[in-house]
Structure 1
Amino acid sequence: MTQRVLMQGGAVAKLVVSKPGVDASVANLDQTVFDSRWSGHQFYLSGTLDSINDSVATQAFGETLPEVPFMLGYCDPSILLNPGGQYLQCEAYRGGGTDFWIYAAVTSSSITFRFKFGNQQGRLYYSLFRRIAG
């Protein structure tokens, strides 16, 4: 009889539920219904966006994802004066108002960045991660 559910404890707990007829201990991602080892996100895209004098910079993904990706990023607010000399966190969210000094907004098809400190230039360094299908 095939073992369809595998549970292991320890420092990193693991739960795998396989498709009918597949042994959970050897199942790959396509053969599982649920696999906690792959329950996070996978790398999707990284890059930079520059904004100066309250301008909005947008990077389109070239496709529409089924869900909004998770963003990790930081802003360097001193690109023109002292590149790499100072870092600030960005206000990151999936929607809503944009009345922040520095903000990054991510949708299912693009990422937008605005830096609102007069005529200074800010640079957003970002990495996007999407949910793993399955």
Structure 2
Amino acid sequence: MRQIIYKSVTTNPRGHAEDDAVAITRQALLRNGLDGITGLLYTQGTDFLQVIEGPDDSIADLLASLLRDPRHRDLRVLVDRETEDREFGDWMMLHRERRETVDAFDRRLHALLLDVSHETASYFRALMPA
């Protein structure tokens, strides 16, 4: 199984990655489930940070699609590795809800990162506000 972690920047004219998150998640649920891909999509301000994991061919196809996706730019792969086990058993998208406090959002993210590798968690923690 292959795991990729990448970071990119939104092209949304309003400058908020979460504005596109609902459409991205809807599309991902349809495609990724069929292709055996799971992961976590995190938005913070203008940034997307995503982990995708699954069969090598499926991940290669998805990465090629992501590189052509006009909703973001400057895609930079941070990790590309083979892994024995999934760190994210379900597809997830994480962004702060309008009524959610920053503290509640941080607690939710920390709970999701408890069972992942230190390396994977470090990329997400680096984006979190201090």
Please say whether Structure 1 and Structure 2 have the same fold, judged by a TM-score greater than 0.5: no
When Rg is computed on C-alpha atoms for both structures, the one with the higher figure is 1
TM-score by length of 2: 0.29
TM-score by length of 1: 0.28
Q: Which has the higher contact order (CA 8 A, sep 6+)?
A: 2
Bigger proportion of residues as strand: 1
